[in-house]
Amino acid sequence: MHYDVIIIGAGPAGLSTALHLLRHSPEWGERLLVLEKAVHPRFKLCGGAVTRLGLETLRGLDFPLPLPLEQFFVKEVRLKYQRHMVTLPGKPQLVIFNRADLDAYLAQQAKARGIQLREGEEVKEITISSNGVSLCTPQAQYFAQVVVGADGANGITRRYTRHKTAKARLARTLEVLQAAPKAPSLLQDAAALFDFSLLKEGLQGYVWDFPFYQQNAVALNRGIYDARLDRSKPLPPLPNLFRAAFSDSQSAVHPPWRSHPIHWFSPRNRFAYPRLLLVGEVAGVDPLFGEGIGPALAYGQVAAQAITEAFERQDFSFSTYRARLRNSYLGRYLMTRWFTAEVSYRLAGQGWFPPLVWHLGKLLAGLFPPPDLFLPPQG
Ligand SMILES: Cc1cc2nc3c(=O)[nH]c(=O)nc-3n(C[C@H](O)[C@H](O)[C@H](O)COP(=O)(O)OP(=O)(O)OC[C@H]3O[C@@H](n4cnc5c(N)ncnc54)[C@H](O)[C@@H]3O)c2cc1C
Protein backbone atom coordinates (compact mmCIF):
# COMPACT_ATOMS: atom_id res chain seq x y z
CA MET A 1 0.00 0.00 0.00
CA HIS A 2 1.38 3.39 -1.02
CA TYR A 3 0.99 6.70 0.76
CA ASP A 4 2.78 10.02 0.47
CA VAL A 5 3.29 10.23 4.23
CA ILE A 6 3.11 7.62 6.97
CA ILE A 7 3.20 8.70 10.60
CA ILE A 8 4.37 6.13 13.15
CA GLY A 9 2.54 6.70 16.44
CA ALA A 10 -0.79 8.30 17.33
CA GLY A 11 0.30 10.21 20.43
CA PRO A 12 0.12 14.02 20.57
CA ALA A 13 3.05 14.50 18.15
CA GLY A 14 1.77 12.13 15.46
CA LEU A 15 -1.86 13.24 15.67
CA SER A 16 -0.90 16.91 15.66
CA THR A 17 1.29 16.41 12.57
CA ALA A 18 -1.62 14.69 10.80
CA LEU A 19 -4.13 17.35 11.87
CA HIS A 20 -1.85 20.20 10.79
CA LEU A 21 -1.36 18.59 7.36
CA LEU A 22 -5.12 18.15 7.00
CA ARG A 23 -5.63 21.77 7.99
CA HIS A 24 -3.25 22.77 5.22
CA SER A 25 -5.23 20.80 2.64
CA PRO A 26 -8.11 18.29 2.92
CA GLU A 27 -6.31 16.18 0.25
CA TRP A 28 -4.02 14.92 3.01
CA GLY A 29 -6.89 12.75 4.21
CA GLU A 30 -6.16 10.46 1.21
CA ARG A 31 -2.39 10.89 1.09
CA LEU A 32 -1.60 10.16 4.72
CA LEU A 33 -1.75 7.17 7.05
CA VAL A 34 -1.13 7.01 10.82
CA LEU A 35 -0.06 3.65 12.27
CA GLU A 36 -0.50 3.09 16.01
CA LYS A 37 0.53 -0.08 17.80
CA ALA A 38 -1.98 0.32 20.65
CA VAL A 39 -5.73 0.87 20.56
CA HIS A 40 -7.07 4.11 22.06
CA PRO A 41 -7.75 4.69 24.89
CA ARG A 42 -4.29 3.31 25.70
CA PHE A 43 -2.31 3.77 28.91
CA LYS A 44 0.62 6.18 28.77
CA LEU A 45 2.75 6.87 31.82
CA CYS A 46 2.42 10.64 32.17
CA GLY A 47 1.45 13.41 34.59
CA GLY A 48 -1.08 14.64 32.04
CA ALA A 49 -0.30 18.33 32.70
CA VAL A 50 -0.76 20.45 29.60
CA THR A 51 0.59 23.99 29.41
CA ARG A 52 -0.46 27.01 27.42
CA LEU A 53 1.83 25.86 24.56
CA GLY A 54 -0.20 22.67 24.07
CA LEU A 55 -3.60 24.26 24.55
CA GLU A 56 -2.85 27.15 22.18
CA THR A 57 -1.67 24.66 19.56
CA LEU A 58 -4.97 22.80 19.91
CA ARG A 59 -6.87 26.07 19.66
CA GLY A 60 -5.00 26.71 16.40
CA LEU A 61 -6.39 23.37 15.17
CA ASP A 62 -9.96 24.54 15.97
CA PHE A 63 -10.38 22.53 19.16
CA PRO A 64 -12.72 24.16 21.67
CA LEU A 65 -11.11 25.38 24.91
CA PRO A 66 -11.67 24.09 27.52
CA LEU A 67 -11.62 20.66 25.85
CA PRO A 68 -14.78 18.61 26.46
CA LEU A 69 -13.00 16.18 28.81
CA GLU A 70 -12.63 15.66 32.55
CA GLN A 71 -9.82 17.99 33.61
CA PHE A 72 -8.35 19.76 36.59
CA PHE A 73 -7.61 23.46 36.21
CA VAL A 74 -4.42 24.41 38.05
CA LYS A 75 -4.71 28.03 39.10
CA GLU A 76 -1.51 28.02 41.12
CA VAL A 77 1.77 26.27 40.30
CA ARG A 78 3.93 25.92 43.39
CA LEU A 79 7.67 25.67 42.84
CA LYS A 80 9.29 24.63 46.10
CA TYR A 81 12.90 24.44 47.22
CA GLN A 82 13.11 23.47 50.90
CA ARG A 83 11.53 26.42 52.79
CA HIS A 84 11.43 28.68 49.71
CA MET A 85 8.26 28.77 47.59
CA VAL A 86 7.48 30.56 44.33
CA THR A 87 3.80 30.55 43.38
CA LEU A 88 2.81 31.15 39.79
CA PRO A 89 -0.86 32.14 39.53
CA GLY A 90 -2.71 31.56 36.26
CA LYS A 91 -6.13 31.39 34.68
CA PRO A 92 -5.22 28.53 34.55
CA GLN A 93 -1.46 27.85 34.60
CA LEU A 94 -1.88 24.19 33.66
CA VAL A 95 -4.67 21.79 32.84
CA ILE A 96 -4.30 18.21 34.04
CA PHE A 97 -5.95 15.45 32.04
CA ASN A 98 -6.22 11.74 32.34
CA ARG A 99 -3.67 11.09 29.63
CA ALA A 100 -5.43 8.07 28.11
CA ASP A 101 -8.62 10.13 27.72
CA LEU A 102 -6.79 13.08 26.18
CA ASP A 103 -5.05 10.99 23.51
CA ALA A 104 -8.20 8.98 22.78
CA TYR A 105 -10.14 12.22 22.27
CA LEU A 106 -7.49 13.59 19.89
CA ALA A 107 -7.43 10.30 17.95
CA GLN A 108 -11.22 10.21 17.68
CA GLN A 109 -11.26 13.84 16.47
CA ALA A 110 -8.53 13.10 13.93
CA LYS A 111 -10.56 10.21 12.50
CA ALA A 112 -13.75 12.28 12.47
CA ARG A 113 -11.94 14.98 10.48
CA GLY A 114 -10.77 12.48 7.86
CA ILE A 115 -7.40 11.11 9.02
CA GLN A 116 -6.79 7.44 8.24
CA LEU A 117 -5.60 5.90 11.50
CA ARG A 118 -4.91 2.18 11.88
CA GLU A 119 -4.74 1.13 15.51
CA GLY A 120 -3.37 -2.14 16.82
CA GLU A 121 -0.75 -2.13 14.05
CA GLU A 122 2.87 -1.97 15.18
CA VAL A 123 5.64 -0.95 12.82
CA LYS A 124 8.29 -3.65 13.12
CA GLU A 125 10.71 -2.66 10.39
CA ILE A 126 11.78 0.53 8.64
CA THR A 127 13.83 0.52 5.45
CA ILE A 128 14.81 3.81 3.88
CA SER A 129 16.23 4.09 0.38
CA SER A 130 16.71 6.98 -2.02
CA ASN A 131 13.35 6.10 -3.67
CA GLY A 132 11.20 5.95 -0.57
CA VAL A 133 10.52 4.21 2.71
CA SER A 134 9.18 0.73 3.33
CA LEU A 135 7.47 -0.12 6.62
CA CYS A 136 6.46 -3.58 7.80
CA THR A 137 3.78 -4.38 10.32
CA PRO A 138 2.46 -7.89 11.12
CA GLN A 139 -0.59 -7.02 8.98
CA ALA A 140 0.93 -5.41 5.86
CA GLN A 141 3.82 -3.81 4.05
CA TYR A 142 3.59 -0.09 3.32
CA PHE A 143 5.52 2.31 1.09
CA ALA A 144 5.76 6.06 1.55
CA GLN A 145 7.67 9.02 0.23
CA VAL A 146 8.15 10.32 3.77
CA VAL A 147 7.90 8.82 7.23
CA VAL A 148 7.32 10.78 10.42
CA GLY A 149 8.77 9.21 13.59
CA ALA A 150 6.23 10.07 16.31
CA ASP A 151 6.50 6.89 18.36
CA GLY A 152 8.01 8.25 21.56
CA ALA A 153 11.16 7.62 23.59
CA ASN A 154 11.04 3.82 23.34
CA GLY A 155 9.72 3.46 19.80
CA ILE A 156 11.21 1.86 16.71
CA THR A 157 12.28 5.21 15.22
CA ARG A 158 14.63 5.90 18.12
CA ARG A 159 15.99 2.35 17.85
CA TYR A 160 16.45 2.86 14.10
CA THR A 161 18.24 6.20 14.49
CA ARG A 162 20.07 5.53 17.76
CA HIS A 163 23.24 4.18 16.20
CA LYS A 164 23.39 7.38 14.16
CA THR A 165 23.07 9.57 17.28
CA ALA A 166 26.14 10.40 19.31
CA LYS A 167 24.50 10.43 22.72
CA ALA A 168 21.16 9.43 24.20
CA ARG A 169 19.70 12.28 26.20
CA LEU A 170 17.29 10.46 28.44
CA ALA A 171 15.68 11.56 31.70
CA ARG A 172 14.52 9.01 34.28
CA THR A 173 11.09 9.09 35.91
CA LEU A 174 9.01 7.14 38.41
CA GLU A 175 5.27 7.64 38.69
CA VAL A 176 2.44 6.32 40.80
CA LEU A 177 -1.30 7.00 40.52
CA GLN A 178 -3.15 6.65 43.77
CA ALA A 179 -6.52 7.34 45.30
CA ALA A 180 -6.69 10.75 46.95
CA PRO A 181 -7.65 11.41 50.56
CA LYS A 182 -11.18 12.86 50.80
CA ALA A 183 -10.28 16.44 49.90
CA PRO A 184 -6.57 16.84 49.14
CA SER A 185 -5.40 20.37 49.93
CA LEU A 186 -3.92 20.78 46.46
CA LEU A 187 -7.38 20.17 45.00
CA GLN A 188 -9.01 22.68 47.31
CA ASP A 189 -6.40 25.29 46.38
CA ALA A 190 -6.50 24.33 42.66
CA ALA A 191 -2.73 23.93 42.91
CA ALA A 192 0.02 21.62 41.61
CA LEU A 193 3.34 21.15 43.34
CA PHE A 194 6.81 20.87 41.83
CA ASP A 195 9.27 20.27 44.67
CA PHE A 196 12.95 20.77 43.82
CA SER A 197 14.22 20.23 47.39
CA LEU A 198 16.07 17.07 46.33
CA LEU A 199 18.48 19.08 44.17
CA LYS A 200 20.74 19.04 47.19
CA GLU A 201 20.68 15.20 47.13
CA GLY A 202 21.95 15.21 43.55
CA LEU A 203 18.56 14.93 41.81
CA GLN A 204 18.58 16.92 38.57
CA GLY A 205 14.87 17.48 38.68
CA TYR A 206 11.94 17.50 41.05
CA VAL A 207 9.11 15.60 42.66
CA TRP A 208 5.58 16.38 41.48
CA ASP A 209 2.20 16.06 43.15
CA PHE A 210 -0.84 16.67 40.92
CA PRO A 211 -4.50 16.05 41.67
CA PHE A 212 -6.52 14.90 38.66
CA TYR A 213 -9.87 13.32 37.85
CA GLN A 214 -10.16 9.66 36.99
CA GLN A 215 -13.67 8.44 36.19
CA ASN A 216 -15.27 11.23 38.22
CA ALA A 217 -13.11 10.53 41.28
CA VAL A 218 -10.17 12.61 42.49
CA ALA A 219 -6.82 10.82 42.28
CA LEU A 220 -3.23 11.88 42.80
CA ASN A 221 -0.53 11.65 40.19
CA ARG A 222 2.86 11.66 41.90
CA GLY A 223 6.25 11.23 40.42
CA ILE A 224 9.93 12.03 40.37
CA TYR A 225 11.90 13.42 37.43
CA ASP A 226 15.66 13.22 36.98
CA ALA A 227 16.93 14.89 33.81
CA ARG A 228 20.41 13.29 34.09
CA LEU A 229 21.71 16.26 32.20
CA ASP A 230 25.06 16.31 33.93
CA ARG A 231 26.18 12.69 33.62
CA SER A 232 29.45 13.28 35.44
CA LYS A 233 27.46 13.39 38.72
CA PRO A 234 26.63 10.15 40.58
CA LEU A 235 23.29 8.48 39.84
CA PRO A 236 20.88 9.30 42.70
CA PRO A 237 18.80 6.35 44.01
CA LEU A 238 15.44 7.34 42.54
CA PRO A 239 13.11 4.93 44.47
CA ASN A 240 14.63 5.94 47.85
CA LEU A 241 14.35 9.63 47.08
CA PHE A 242 10.78 9.17 45.85
CA ARG A 243 9.75 7.30 48.98
CA ALA A 244 11.48 9.85 51.23
CA ALA A 245 9.79 12.79 49.50
CA PHE A 246 6.35 11.49 50.50
CA SER A 247 7.41 9.89 53.76
CA ASP A 248 4.61 11.06 56.03
CA SER A 249 2.01 8.35 56.54
CA GLN A 250 -0.89 10.43 55.15
CA SER A 251 0.70 10.81 51.75
CA ALA A 252 3.12 7.86 51.52
CA VAL A 253 3.74 6.44 48.04
CA HIS A 254 3.89 2.66 47.70
CA PRO A 255 5.37 0.51 44.97
CA PRO A 256 4.69 -0.65 42.38
CA TRP A 257 5.51 2.60 40.67
CA ARG A 258 6.30 2.67 37.05
CA SER A 259 9.20 4.06 35.15
CA HIS A 260 9.63 5.46 31.65
CA PRO A 261 12.40 7.51 30.02
CA ILE A 262 11.90 10.96 28.51
CA HIS A 263 14.05 11.85 25.51
CA TRP A 264 14.92 15.51 25.85
CA PHE A 265 15.77 18.28 23.46
CA SER A 266 19.28 19.54 22.95
CA PRO A 267 20.35 21.72 20.00
CA ARG A 268 22.83 18.92 19.26
CA ASN A 269 20.06 16.33 18.67
CA ARG A 270 19.36 15.02 15.15
CA PHE A 271 15.85 16.04 14.06
CA ALA A 272 15.66 14.63 10.54
CA TYR A 273 17.22 12.27 8.02
CA PRO A 274 16.46 12.06 4.32
CA ARG A 275 12.78 10.99 4.06
CA LEU A 276 12.48 10.70 7.85
CA LEU A 277 11.25 13.51 10.07
CA LEU A 278 11.33 13.29 13.86
CA VAL A 279 8.69 14.88 16.07
CA GLY A 280 7.72 14.91 19.74
CA GLU A 281 9.78 12.80 22.04
CA VAL A 282 11.67 11.12 19.22
CA ALA A 283 13.13 14.55 18.41
CA GLY A 284 13.36 15.71 22.03
CA VAL A 285 11.18 17.57 24.56
CA ASP A 286 11.80 19.95 27.46
CA PRO A 287 14.71 18.86 29.69
CA LEU A 288 13.90 21.28 32.52
CA PHE A 289 10.50 19.89 33.57
CA GLY A 290 10.18 16.94 31.19
CA GLU A 291 7.21 18.71 29.61
CA GLY A 292 6.37 16.75 26.47
CA ILE A 293 2.69 17.07 25.59
CA GLY A 294 2.75 20.76 24.64
CA PRO A 295 6.02 20.46 22.71
CA ALA A 296 4.79 17.27 20.97
CA LEU A 297 1.66 19.08 19.80
CA ALA A 298 3.73 22.06 18.65
CA TYR A 299 6.19 19.85 16.73
CA GLY A 300 3.22 18.82 14.57
CA GLN A 301 2.87 22.33 13.20
CA VAL A 302 6.56 22.68 12.31
CA ALA A 303 6.70 19.20 10.77
CA ALA A 304 3.57 19.77 8.67
CA GLN A 305 5.12 22.93 7.19
CA ALA A 306 8.33 21.05 6.42
CA ILE A 307 6.43 18.18 4.75
CA THR A 308 4.25 20.51 2.68
CA GLU A 309 7.32 22.34 1.42
CA ALA A 310 9.17 19.06 0.74
CA PHE A 311 6.36 17.89 -1.56
CA GLU A 312 6.17 21.27 -3.31
CA ARG A 313 9.90 21.16 -4.03
CA GLN A 314 10.15 17.37 -4.42
CA ASP A 315 13.13 17.55 -2.06
CA PHE A 316 12.87 15.01 0.74
CA SER A 317 16.26 15.64 2.33
CA PHE A 318 14.73 17.74 5.16
CA SER A 319 18.05 19.53 5.34
CA THR A 320 16.33 22.75 6.49
CA TYR A 321 14.18 21.18 9.23
CA ARG A 322 16.68 22.01 11.98
CA ALA A 323 16.73 25.70 10.97
CA ARG A 324 12.93 25.73 10.63
CA LEU A 325 12.64 24.30 14.13
CA ARG A 326 15.20 26.72 15.56
CA ASN A 327 13.33 29.72 14.13
CA SER A 328 9.91 28.56 15.31
CA TYR A 329 8.20 29.48 18.57
CA LEU A 330 8.68 25.85 19.65
CA GLY A 331 12.40 26.04 18.89
CA ARG A 332 12.83 29.13 21.06
CA TYR A 333 10.73 27.54 23.82
CA LEU A 334 12.83 24.39 23.85
CA MET A 335 16.10 26.32 23.60
CA THR A 336 15.10 28.42 26.64
CA ARG A 337 14.17 25.31 28.63
CA TRP A 338 17.36 23.51 27.56
CA PHE A 339 19.59 26.47 28.44
CA THR A 340 17.88 26.95 31.83
CA ALA A 341 18.19 23.22 32.54
CA GLU A 342 21.88 23.20 31.56
CA VAL A 343 22.68 26.09 33.89
CA SER A 344 20.36 25.10 36.75
CA TYR A 345 21.04 21.38 36.96
CA ARG A 346 24.80 21.84 36.61
CA LEU A 347 24.91 24.55 39.30
CA ALA A 348 22.27 23.02 41.57
CA GLY A 349 24.90 21.38 43.76
CA GLN A 350 26.31 24.81 44.77
CA GLY A 351 24.50 25.70 48.00
CA TRP A 352 23.98 29.38 47.06
CA PHE A 353 22.42 28.74 43.67
CA PRO A 354 18.87 27.40 44.34
CA PRO A 355 17.95 30.07 46.95
CA LEU A 356 19.15 32.77 44.55
CA VAL A 357 16.97 31.33 41.77
CA TRP A 358 13.95 31.17 44.08
CA HIS A 359 14.39 34.80 45.17
CA LEU A 360 14.65 35.88 41.53
CA GLY A 361 11.68 33.67 40.63
CA LYS A 362 9.49 35.39 43.22
CA LEU A 363 10.34 38.76 41.72
CA LEU A 364 9.62 37.68 38.14
CA ALA A 365 6.41 35.79 38.98
CA GLY A 366 4.86 39.01 40.29
CA LEU A 367 5.95 41.01 37.23
CA PHE A 368 4.57 38.75 34.47
CA PRO A 369 1.10 37.37 35.30
CA PRO A 370 -0.17 35.26 32.35
CA PRO A 371 -3.37 36.27 30.47
CA ASP A 372 -6.61 34.29 30.82
CA LEU A 373 -6.17 31.21 28.60
CA PHE A 374 -9.84 30.62 27.97
CA LEU A 375 -10.67 34.11 26.74
CA PRO A 376 -10.64 34.27 22.94
CA PRO A 377 -7.29 35.65 21.69
CA GLN A 378 -7.24 39.41 20.98
CA GLY A 379 -7.26 40.64 17.38
C1 LIG B 1 6.31 9.63 34.16
C2 LIG B 1 6.10 10.69 33.10
C3 LIG B 1 5.34 11.82 33.40
C4 LIG B 1 5.15 12.81 32.43
N5 LIG B 1 4.37 13.88 32.74
C6 LIG B 1 4.16 14.84 31.82
C7 LIG B 1 3.29 15.94 32.09
O8 LIG B 1 2.66 16.04 33.15
N9 LIG B 1 3.13 16.89 31.14
C10 LIG B 1 3.78 16.83 29.94
O11 LIG B 1 3.64 17.74 29.12
N12 LIG B 1 4.59 15.77 29.63
C13 LIG B 1 4.78 14.78 30.53
N14 LIG B 1 5.56 13.69 30.21
C15 LIG B 1 6.16 13.60 28.87
C16 LIG B 1 5.10 13.19 27.84
O17 LIG B 1 4.37 12.09 28.32
C18 LIG B 1 5.76 12.81 26.50
O19 LIG B 1 6.81 13.67 26.22
C20 LIG B 1 4.72 12.88 25.38
O21 LIG B 1 3.81 11.83 25.53
C22 LIG B 1 5.41 12.75 24.03
O23 LIG B 1 4.43 12.65 23.04
P24 LIG B 1 4.74 11.85 21.68
O25 LIG B 1 3.52 11.98 20.84
O26 LIG B 1 6.04 12.29 21.15
O27 LIG B 1 4.95 10.32 22.13
P28 LIG B 1 3.96 9.33 22.88
O29 LIG B 1 2.94 10.05 23.64
O30 LIG B 1 4.85 8.38 23.60
O31 LIG B 1 3.21 8.57 21.71
C32 LIG B 1 3.89 7.64 20.91
C33 LIG B 1 2.85 6.70 20.32
O34 LIG B 1 3.52 5.82 19.40
C35 LIG B 1 3.03 4.52 19.57
N36 LIG B 1 4.06 3.58 19.09
C37 LIG B 1 5.22 3.28 19.71
N38 LIG B 1 5.93 2.41 18.95
C39 LIG B 1 5.18 2.18 17.84
C40 LIG B 1 5.38 1.37 16.69
N41 LIG B 1 6.48 0.62 16.53
N42 LIG B 1 4.40 1.34 15.74
C43 LIG B 1 3.28 2.09 15.89
N44 LIG B 1 3.05 2.87 16.97
C45 LIG B 1 3.99 2.92 17.93
C46 LIG B 1 2.74 4.41 21.06
O47 LIG B 1 1.82 3.38 21.34
C48 LIG B 1 2.21 5.80 21.36
O49 LIG B 1 0.80 5.87 21.22
C50 LIG B 1 5.75 12.68 31.15
C51 LIG B 1 6.50 11.54 30.85
C52 LIG B 1 6.68 10.55 31.81
C53 LIG B 1 7.48 9.34 31.46
pLDDT at 377 over 70: no
Band (pLDDT 50/70/90 cuts) for residue 120 is: very high
175 lines ligand 1 (CB under 6 A): yes
- Length of the chain equals 379
pLDDT in the model for residue 214: 83
Distance from the Cα of residue 303 to its chain's centroid: 16
Q: What is the Å distance from ligand 1's center to 44 Cα?
A: 6
Integer Cα distance of 100 and 97 in angstroms: 8
Question: How much is the mean pLDDT over the chain?
Answer: 93
pLDDT at 164 over 70: no
No. of H helices and E strands in the chain?
12, 17
Domains and CATH numbers, the chain: 2-367 (3.50.50.60)
The angle, 0 to 180 degrees and rounded to 10, between the axes of the packed helices 329-347 and 353-367 is 150
pLDDT in the model for residue 251: 77
Region for residue 150 given its phi and psi (left: phi exceeds 0; alpha: psi -120 to 50; beta: otherwise): alpha
Band (pLDDT 50/70/90 cuts) for residue 162 is: confident
Tell me the mean pLDDT in the region 248-256.
80
Closest residue CA from atom 30 of ligand 1? 152
pLDDT in the model for residue 102: 98
Q: What is the Å distance from ligand 1's center to 300 Cα?
A: 14
User: Which of the listed residues 151, 175, 220, 285 should we mutate to test ligand 1's pocket, taking the one with most ligand atoms within 8 A of CB?
Assistant: 151
Region for residue 112 given its phi and psi (left: phi exceeds 0; alpha: psi -120 to 50; beta: otherwise): alpha
pLDDT at 161 over 90: no
pLDDT tens sequence across 11-34: 999 999 999 999 999 999 999 999
pLDDT tens sequence across 62-107: 999 999 999 999 999 999 999 999 999 888 999 999 999 999 999 9
pLDDT in the model for residue 299: 98
